[in-house]
Amino acid sequence: MSTIIYTRVSTNDQALEGISLSMQADRCESYARAHDLSDARVIEDAGFSASSLSRPGMQSLLALVAAGAVSDIVIFKLDRLSRSIMDFGALVTMLDKSNVKLHSVMDHIDTGSATGRFFTNIMMTVAQWEREVTGERVSQNLQFVKSQGFHLGTAPYGYSLLRNPAKNGKGSVLVPDAEKQIIALEIRRLRALGFGLATIAGMVNDSLRTDFGWGMQIKRVLDAPTISELVLCEGGYRHRIPADDLHRP
């Protein structure tokens, strides 16, 4: 049985540079030597997110654990393994059943003891809470940006994006495209009459000489907001956002 050092970086840039990977490996190797963990070898995941365990290096590690070939796993930090409480819990359970000890260098954790496992679970729970709070803040900020008259992302069918003149060109608003709005109105009329998406595509192509090749293109037009569903602001339109939504995550 051997010791495995597991390292991971999430971006391709980090993977190509190898700086973060080599740093993690160096710190883990020093830890392994200091704790008499012999025969340590490195398994890495370069450019993979920790949102799931579906990573080549992680799958190789799990296979070795299942085969009973691993006694200890050394990682730089707990988030190198997983950022999901569910995945992390399943992983720790598997390691515990296989009598594999998990060592986290920066977190000063060794799951060989009940106390180590206890603090591991607490730290992962806190880490997930921090990520969820960050996500809520980002969502609220995006809602606020929209409420100020900016449109985020690409323009839905029937509109073009225009730099907001009322905001000194910062941010974009939606400006209706007259020709596409006529087409969108015709598509909605035909849909209201009960025609299918593919049929509507053919009818619109024939009558308006457009090029809607298949039904999903029609669906995108139907999913685009109408002018009545938008709010007129300085310079153009923005999506209607109820005031309550500004306080929702």
Tell me the catalytic residues.
10
Q: Which of 231, 171, 182 is nearest to 204 (CA)?
A: 182
In whole angstroms, what is the distance from residue 56 CA to residue 43 CA?
A: 9
Amino acid identity of residue 180, one-letter, is K
Q: Which of 137, 83, 105 is nearest to 31 (CA)?
A: 105
Q: Is residue 194 within 8 Å of residue 176, measured between CB atoms?
A: no
Residue 104, H or E segment: strand 101-104
Q: Is residue 25 within 8 Å of residue 60, measured between CB atoms?
A: no
Block residue for tokens 């840039």: 13
| C-alpha dist (Å) from residue 230 to 156, 225, 237 | 12, 7, 6
Q: Is residue 92 within 8 Å of residue 111, measured between CB atoms?
A: yes
> In the chain, what is the straight-line distance between the N-terminal and C-terminal CA atoms, in Å?
47
Backbone angles phi, psi at 140, to 5 degrees: -65, -40
User: What does the block give as tokens for 50?
Assistant: 């920790």
Q: Is residue 100 within 8 Å of residue 111, measured between CB atoms?
A: no
